[in-house]
Amino acid sequence: MENNILVIGAGITGIEASILLANAGKHVYLVEKSPIIGGNIIKFEHVFPNFECATCLVSPRQQEVLQNSNIELLLLSEVKKVTGKPGAFSVKIKKQARYVDMENCIGCGACYDVCPVKIPNEYEENLMQRFAIYVPYSGSLPNVPAIDTENCIRFAGEECNACQESCMFEAINYDEKDEELDLKVDAIIVSTGFQQHKPVAKYGWGTIDDVYNAFEFERIFASNGPTTGEIKKKDGSEPKSIAIIHCVGRDENKYCSAVCCINSLKFIHYLKEKIEDIKITNFYRDLCLPGKKYDKFAGDMKSLGTDFIRSDDIEISSGDKSILVNYMNGDAKKQLPADMVILSSSIEPQKDNNDLAKVLGIELDSFGFFQESDPDFGTETSTRDGIYIAGCAQAPKDIQNCVTQAQSAVEKALFQFNLK
Amino acid sequence: MKERIGIFLCECGPNIAEKIDLDKVKEALEHLPNVVIVARHKLFCSLQGKEFLKESIKENNLTRFVIAACSPKQHELTFMIVAEDAGMNPHLFQMANIREQCAWIIEDKDEATKKAILYIKAAYKRVIYHESLDKKEIVANPDVLVIGGGIAGIEASLALAGPDRKVYLIEKTESLGGKIKEFDEVFISFKNGQSIIDERLERIEKEDNIETRLQAEVIDVKGFLGNFIVIVKTGDSEEKIQVGAIIVAIGFELINLSQLKGYGSLDCDDIYTGLEFEKMKKEGKITTKSGSVPKSVGIIHCIGRNEVGYCSGVCCLSSIKFSKYIQDKLPGTNIFEFYRDLTLPDKAYQKFYENIENKGVNFIQADDIKIANEKGLKIKYNKNKSTQPVDMIILSPAYVPAKDSNSLAEMLRIPRDDSGFFTEEHPKLAPVNTSAEGIFIIGCAQGPKSIKDSISQAHAAAGKILASIIPGKKLEPEVRISYINEAFCIGCQKCLNTCNYGAIYFDNLKFISIVNEVLCHGCGNCIASCNSSAIQLKHFKDIQMHQEIIEILR
């Protein structure tokens, strides 16, 4: 008998789990709330430690998801209700209308040029604009736009059918309706990922120009991002000095996110690649480099040229000519000017974890991540039978460990059906 | 049989049609030898487009076809499926990318049209030399060999064994359990190591499909994914075991302290490694050699980190756990933790650290530690400017690869990192696979890691095996692979070293190299290494490539 498995979240973890399950002959419903698949990893230009192009790394997997007949991809969808028990869960899914036919659209982009609406693109960290009919990034997969009805003027009552008229493939249908789907599944894997911490006021984020968080900087560096990879200050000039602040949000969250140190060191490479003589200063607490590869990686990055200052008390203020990093070094209060600041913000639980936990009937831990059944021996099992957790939905971790957990969760789901 | 070739031009909506003069293209192709149809469609990847293509193949009795459209990355698979649906071998077509490589990058329509014609003609020339490639199926043995009976090996065995799958668990010592059974408590669940193992041993006992071999070692491995033949030696007897997959879970060792320089005197009394201290705790006797209760203990992190060149990722946590042991057993003891960079990479770890610190442990950041034995043990740091006398010292030495790693790597033909641990197939996307298909690495054999991460890897490898080697289901290996022309092979064996997948072996009798059709991934490395052009890659044969290139350069 064919088993159905629901995977929630189509980031790298959900993609890995879905492909593996599909290859095992299971039918997978992959539910994703955004219009595309790939999650956070596609925000990255390169991934540590080998500087592989992240989108190149993931796109074969994304294609596999799109082409695998055992995977039913439900985009713009959310899980609304779960009843039943392992082997017989009933799941209600709300699927928002995309208004663009996935079969007919070829992703030519003709509809963007005619859309009169321009709004900040949240996927690009609001650093550039998008239209009301949009794909999050250039190169998104599936390369099919969606209409954002909250911002589309037609859905606000105005006369506009510009995008429909521009489409040569009759792919746009304003009458498409949101759907409710009832699925029967045997097991559920939760791989909803994380969100980036919003730095508190003392870091000057959002108030002082040229202070960016890690994702913003990642997009600035990205060749398909808002500046097509040019690192420039807001006034258009090239920064001569930059401060990278580690552990932003650690005090608030009370845990170490495990990846930010290594990711911060990666930025040294990014910066030196574009601006050879830029002065870089890393403000850190403890360099957290767990694993067989990262001391060497850190050594390689350090050799490119950076200062390290150990400090756990940092405040960013704006000076006359530059940004000022105010920090405590021992008992001394010190100050370092910088043209640009990158805040290495921590990994945080998704803000809707609580809602999803209620729907699924599983518990969250004190931080808001999904609670594992055992911190050493059951990190991929939730507090409810038949529901598994993987990736940053369970705890902050790197891509390698996300993929490992995805594979592990698949084993546990298959184990449940005694398919050994 | 006379060839009947079709050429199909995709308009890709306006994408191609507006940038390339497809009428001109059609004109240039219609009179090519054996071309029986040149047809265009608004969008071949659409439902109607695919249907049109399928019907055209059938109606015209096509033997091969070319489709000029987008990148094969996007739609090669789509059209392979159409070809199959039309009853044609899916390798008898070729795509010409006239969108990304012509329409999208050339402003001038005439130029774009010219280039498109060139590309399509090249594809036409190439497709003439295409050959049918048939899918193969091989029977795979679902059984699994697990090397190493520590917690990772045990977990993997329990996850895999079942009515249709036998697991052979090979352990070189006299008992299962590995290092964890030495731990009085494991972080972060603080369960007792021995009882963790006991509970699992009971399950192994009840599981008919796990066969354990103690005091045993693997002495030879032959074969490949789905069909390994392993010789296991137990005592004086040797047995042949056949399995479909192998999991390597041989764990780690602590760095040998005698290799370390720069720490001063490490071989004095009352200096213990973490594992030795675990034993004291387990026996319930934390005392100095003279039998007295230590009033002060120094715990030193990062021992040997410089020598090995990596952070083991777990020593900070186990060091902090030692503080907990001492606080639990000997409250009031002065504890000093000397660390370099506190590494607490998980959501639960910081709280644990804060709890211990709040109970009065002194955490001292120092990069340079020297131990002196001058009227008692002394820890010197801060360029010898500070000194802390203690009664006992616990060292947290680096994790290093298990001793057998080297010989096992050679036997299994899997690579190791600079650090000596086994190398995963990909550091992000395939952490428990190796370049040898069917051989997996888990736990500290892959790299130093916590118990929690070892357990995850054990289940990950089990998941990969459960999903790929399914009892009763055959494997379908890649068909676009290398093959060696026996007549041309001169037996130089250069290709053996270029293969990342261990897919080429040498036949000493015939004195030629042979490609294993199951293991070959079709990467093409060996072809470049072959002096005598004896190796060819199916679907990318010299003649196919040459014909295509000659036509493009015309």
**B193-205 residue pLDDT tens:** 999 999 999 999 9
Name the residue among A286, A292, A420 with its Cβ closest to that of B343. A286
Contacts of A405 in chain B (CB under 8 A): 456, 460
Q: Is A293 on the interface with B (CB under 8 A)?
A: yes
Q: Is B43 on the interface with A (CB under 8 A)?
A: yes
Closest CA to B78 of A222, A63, A413, A175: A63
Contacts of A312 in chain B (CB under 8 A): none
Q: A330 pLDDT band (50/70/90 cuts)? A: confident
Which tops the pLDDT comparison, B519 or A179? Answer: A179
Shortest distance between the Cα of A254 and any Cα of chain B, in A, equals: 7
Do A25 and B470 count as a contact with CB atoms less than 8 A apart? yes
Do A377 and B160 count as a contact with CB atoms less than 8 A apart? no
Name the residue among A25, A286, A415 with its Cβ closest to that of B342. A286
Pick the CATH number of A198-346 from 3.50.50.60, 3.40.190.10, 3.20.20.70, 1.10.10.10: 3.50.50.60
Q: Are B500 and B435 in contact (CB under 8 A)?
A: yes
Q: B310 pLDDT band (50/70/90 cuts)? A: very high
Q: Is B338 on the interface with A (CB under 8 A)?
A: no
Determine if the peptide bond prior to B550 is cis (ω within 30°).
no
Question: What is the second-level CATH architecture of the domain B257-399?
Answer: 3-Layer(bba) Sandwich (3.50)
pLDDT of A58-93, one tens digit each?
Answer: 998 999 999 999 999 999 999 999 999 999 999 999
Residue A43: pLDDT above 70?
A: yes
Residue A29: pLDDT above 60?
A: yes
Give the per-residue pLDDT at B501. Answer: 84
Q: Is B315 on the interface with A (CB under 8 A)?
A: no
Beta-carbon contacts of A373 under 8 Å, excluding residues fewer than 6 positions away, are A381, A382, A383
Query: Which of B192, B302, B456, B469 to mutate to test binding with chain A, by most A CBs within 10 Å of its CB?
Result: B456
* CATH class of segment(s) B482-538: alpha beta
Across residues A255-276, what is the average pLDDT? 97
pLDDT of A132-158, one tens digit each?
Answer: 999 999 889 999 999 999 999 999 999
Contacts of B305 in chain A (CB under 8 A): 295
Give the per-residue pLDDT at B385. Answer: 93
- Supply the DSSP string of B66-106, one letter for each residue: EEEES-HHHHHHHHHHHHHHTTS-TTSEEEEE-IIIIITT-
Name the residue among A47, A67, A293 with its Cβ closest to that of B77. A67
Contacts of A409 in chain B (CB under 8 A): 463
Across residues B322-336, what is the average pLDDT? 95
Q: Is B470 on the interface with A (CB under 8 A)?
A: yes
Do A407 and B466 count as a contact with CB atoms less than 8 A apart? no
Name the residue among B196, B350, B428 with its Cβ closest to that of A400. B428
Please name the residue that has the structure tokens 């890995």. A16
Name the residue among B163, B347, B458 with its Cβ closest to that of A395. B347
Closest CA to A382 of A252, A391, A22, A286: A391
Do B343 and A414 count as a contact with CB atoms less than 8 A apart? no
Contacts of B432 in chain A (CB under 8 A): 404, 407
Shortest distance between the Cα of A139 and any Cα of chain B, in A, equals: 12
Do A288 and B305 count as a contact with CB atoms less than 8 A apart? no
A77-85 vs A88-95, strand pairing mode: antiparallel
Q: Is B551 on the interface with A (CB under 8 A)?
A: no
Query: Which of A376, A389, A405 to mutate to test binding with chain B, by most B CBs within 10 Å of its CB?
Result: A376
| High-pLDDT (> 90) share of chain B, % | 89
Give the per-residue pLDDT at A419. Answer: 54
Contacts of B451 in chain A (CB under 8 A): 376-377
Do A419 and B312 count as a contact with CB atoms less than 8 A apart? no
Across residues B153-182, what is the average pLDDT? 96
Do A24 and B343 count as a contact with CB atoms less than 8 A apart? no
Name the residue among B160, B345, B447 with its Cβ closest to that of A258. B345
Query: Which of B247, B347, B357 to mutate to test binding with chain A, by most A CBs within 10 Å of its CB?
Result: B347
Across residues B160-182, what is the average pLDDT? 96
B 157-196: CB under 8 A from A: 159-165, 186-189, 191, 196
- Supply the DSSP string of A24-70, one letter for each residue: TT-EEEEE-SSSSB-GGGGG-SEETTTTEEHHHHHHHHHHHHHH-TT
The CATH code of the domain at B5-133 is 3.40.50
CATH match of B144-251+402-468 with 3.50.50.60: yes
Host H or E run for residue A303: helix A294-303
Query: Which of A264, A407, A410, A412 to mutate to test binding with chain B, by most B CBs within 10 Å of its CB?
Result: A407
Across residues B68-87, what is the average pLDDT? 92
C-alpha B66 chain-centroid distance: 37
Q: A322 pLDDT band (50/70/90 cuts)? A: very high
Across residues A339-358, what is the average pLDDT? 97
Do B428 and A47 count as a contact with CB atoms less than 8 A apart? yes
Do B448 and A25 count as a contact with CB atoms less than 8 A apart? no
Do A401 and B453 count as a contact with CB atoms less than 8 A apart? yes
Reading the block at residue B132, the tokens are: 């049918």
Across residues B6-29, what is the average pLDDT? 94
Residue B267: pLDDT above 90?
A: no
Residue A343: pLDDT above 60?
A: yes
- Alpha-carbon distance B433 to A402, whole Å? 15
Host H or E run for residue B451: helix B451-468
Give the Cβ contact number of residue B498 at 10 Å. Answer: 16
SS3 for B21-77, per residue? Answer: CHHHHHHHHHCCCCEEEEEEECCCCCHHHHHHHHHHHHHCCCCEEEEEECCHHHHHH
Indicate the DSSP class of residue B12: T
Q: Is A13 on the interface with B (CB under 8 A)?
A: no
Do B457 and A404 count as a contact with CB atoms less than 8 A apart? yes
Q: B158 pLDDT band (50/70/90 cuts)? A: very high
Q: Is B421 on the interface with A (CB under 8 A)?
A: yes
Residue A194: pLDDT above 80?
A: yes
Q: Is B429 on the interface with A (CB under 8 A)?
A: yes
Q: How many contacts (CB atoms, under 8 Å) link A and B?
A: 207
Give the per-residue pLDDT at B262. Answer: 87
Q: Do domains B144-251+402-468 and B257-399 have the same CATH topology?
A: yes
Name the residue among B344, B419, B452 with its Cβ closest to that of A379. B452
Q: Are B432 and B407 in contact (CB under 8 A)?
A: no
Give the per-residue pLDDT at A418. Answer: 67
In chain B, domain spans: 5-133, 144-251+402-468, 257-399, 482-538
pLDDT of B242-259, one tens digit each?
Answer: 999 999 999 999 999 998
According to CATH, where is 3.50.50.60 located in chain A?
4-96+178-193+350-416, 198-346
Give the per-residue pLDDT at B196. Answer: 96
Contacts of A13 in chain B (CB under 8 A): none
Q: Are B13 and B43 in contact (CB under 8 A)?
A: yes
Across residues B73-90, what is the average pLDDT? 92
Give the per-residue pLDDT at B46. Answer: 84
- Alpha-carbon distance A187 to A254, whole Å? 32
Across residues A275-295, what is the average pLDDT? 96
Do B460 and A408 count as a contact with CB atoms less than 8 A apart? yes
pLDDT of B422-454, one tens digit each?
Answer: 999 999 999 999 999 999 999 999 999 999 999
Give the per-residue pLDDT at B137. Answer: 92
Q: Is A263 on the interface with B (CB under 8 A)?
A: no
Mean of pLDDT over chain B: 94
Determine if the peptide bond prior to A290 is cis (ω within 30°).
no
A4-96+178-193+350-416: which CATH topology? FAD/NAD(P)-binding domain (3.50.50)
Residue B531: pLDDT above 70?
A: yes
Residue A1: pLDDT above 60?
A: no
Give the Cβ contact number of residue A355 at 10 Å. Answer: 13
